[in-house]
Amino acid sequence: MSMALQPHHLELARALVAEAHANGGLAPLDVERFWADDRAAHADPFGAAAPQAALGLRMSHECLFAELGLAEDWHRYYHDPAWPRQLAKAYNDKAERIVGRRLLDEKPPAPAERCWPAPKELYDFFDARNVFHHESYWLQSGADSPAALAALLDRVEKRLENPRAFLLPPEWDREKSRLQALGIPSPIYRWQRGPVTFAMSVYGPEKLIFLILDQPDLAARYRDTILRVMLERARVLDEERGWRTPAEAHRGWGWADDNCCLLNKEMYDFFARPILQAMFERYAPGPGDSRYQHSDSDMAQHLPTLAELGLNGCNFGPNLTVAQIRQHLPRALIHGQIAPFTFSRNEEIALAAETIRDCEMARPARGLSLTTAGSINNGSRLTGLRLIMAAIQRHGRYVQA
């Protein structure tokens, strides 16, 4: 049984799924009323005017394959930009019939002459490589021993003597005037693979744990160097946009830090907390600024720390419940907490039951955007999305009939 599912959740879910099966697989739903209520829910997810839990699920291009009956071809997906858009049209035609909306982006990518040259990424400063392997991109290690890490940090610190020269490609200045004249804004930096996941990708999960335990001075140097590069990368790109101070710049910062679950609270507070705190203080200093973290793992030990850091948006692993998150983060918009594999395996009764459970847990404080507690994977079906919508409409309203 999924986390915290109760018998009444399952009973209500079975009845809803039985109605769907009696209707050719389509759950009973007043589609236009749902989308009108959803607009109100998104307008103020915590407010008294929100009629129901908001729907955060808008599917993803990963869902194209199963929905359209195609074999997965991730290499083509990543390397043929036109192909996913072609498939998206067929997908959206189907989505319109089932859920009443076109969900995926069908627009072609911008032509090369309207794209800025790509700045180097954080991992480039640390000599890591992002390579396509086993149907996805993976960040490859930049050091494999304490001595190699210390030498790597020496090289990074040298690059920080002139971060702009290292960060921006040679053609940047030549292209800058042309692209600015076209009104195309230059890229900025407000989202990052989280500090634990990034550090473990560059140095290795076990190696980072032992480094923190056995050589805390080198671990602290690694931590502080990561933070310095992040601050400098953000500063340079802001200045290229024309923002000279943080007060002028776009506010908000987000992380994706799945590997944070591998550290206990003390290790996380030593290694990750100073990085989060500094980036939030620089780029999300106000109470209304977005302080967001995605960590689709069992990382409940970090909820107190994230609460102290003022996190106000989250997408955590499915073994954390809405009630558990809300206890620590009373004003955070919770994006969750449906288990991704419940959705991708099309486990209809569990899918409806988890939706009902999450809406029930959210009812006292509201502030829920229903989506998967993690990624939306291939196999997640439009009929499953409609089932979630029906469960929200029938059992997820904040004021019960």
Long-range contact set of residues 29-34: C-beta below 8 Å, sequence gap at least 24: 29/386, 29/389, 29/390, 29/393, 30/393, 31/99, 31/100, 32/100, 33/393, 34/100, 34/389, 34/392, 34/393
Residue 333 in 3-state DSSP? Answer: strand
Give residue 109's pLDDT band: very low, low, confident or very high (50, 70, 90): confident
Burial of 224 (0-12, 13-18, 19+ CB in 10 A): middle
pLDDT tens digits along 126-136: 999 888 776 67
Please report, for residues 124, 147, 166, 232, the alpha-carbon distance to residue 152 in angstroms, rounded to integers and kept in the order given: 11, 9, 15, 18
* pTM beyond 0.75: yes
Give residue 247's pLDDT band: very low, low, confident or very high (50, 70, 90): confident
Burial of 50 (0-12, 13-18, 19+ CB in 10 A): buried
Q: Is the pLDDT of residue 363 over 90?
A: yes
* Residue 367 near residue 331 (C-beta atoms within 8 A): yes
pLDDT for res 92: 98
Q: Is the pLDDT of residue 246 over 90?
A: no
Give residue 1's pLDDT band: very low, low, confident or very high (50, 70, 90): very low
Sign, Cα dihedral of 320, 43, 20, 343 = negative
Mean pLDDT of 108-124: 94
Burial of 221 (0-12, 13-18, 19+ CB in 10 A): middle
pLDDT for res 136: 73
pLDDT for res 300: 97
pLDDT tens digits along 301-340: 999 999 999 999 999 999 999 999 999 999 999 999 999 9
pLDDT for res 382: 98
pLDDT for res 348: 98
C-alpha radius of gyration, the chain, whole number: 23
Sequence ranges of the domains in the chain: 120-167+189-249+252-289
Residue 247 in 3-state DSSP? Answer: coil
Range with the poorest average pLDDT among 72-86, 105-119, 155-169, 258-272: 72-86
Mean pLDDT of 41-48: 96
pLDDT tens digits along 8-42: 999 999 999 999 999 999 999 999 999 999 999 99
